[in-house]
Amino acid sequence: MVRRCSYCDEEGHTLKGCRELKAYNKLQASLPTPDVVHIGHPLKLGHAQPYLCATKKVRWPNKLWHDNKFTDSLPICEECLEVYSATTGKQLKSI
Ligand SMILES: [Zn+2]
Ligand SMILES: [Zn+2]
């Protein structure tokens, strides 16, 4: 049987020797830990910005993104909240 990497699906190496996986892990480890959650733009408005405030798209480390306890513990971006209440007239409570 041919050895095939279960990450990149290339033959000749396994997960342990995968360069792509190593590069991915390195990138993930280099991402800063987010300290705030931004409110995403509703898609129907067709905005090019990712968030209500002017912040550029933030890359989250995958393991934190899927960690609900962590995301729930973060405050919501003040600017995003302001824009939200200004455009919808509704108040969204900060955590
Ligand atoms: Zn591989
Ligand atoms: Zn924001």
pTM: 0.70
Amino acid, single-letter form, for residue 13? H
How far does residue 67's CA lie from ligand 1's centre (Å)? 26
Amino acid, single-letter form, for residue 24? Y
**pLDDT of res. 94:** 53
**pLDDT of res. 42:** 73
Torsion-angle region of residue 79: left (phi > 0), alpha (psi -120 to 50) or beta? alpha
Ligand nearest to the Cα of 75, by number: 2
**Structure tokens, 69:** 């306890």
10-residue block means of pLDDT along the chain (95 residues)? 90 95 96 94 70 91 93 94 91 65
**pLDDT of res. 73:** 95
How many other C-beta atoms lie within 10 A of the C-beta of residue 35? 8
Amino acid, single-letter form, for residue 32? P
Ligand nearest to the Cα of 4, by number: 1
How far does residue 16's CA lie from ligand 1's centre (Å)? 8
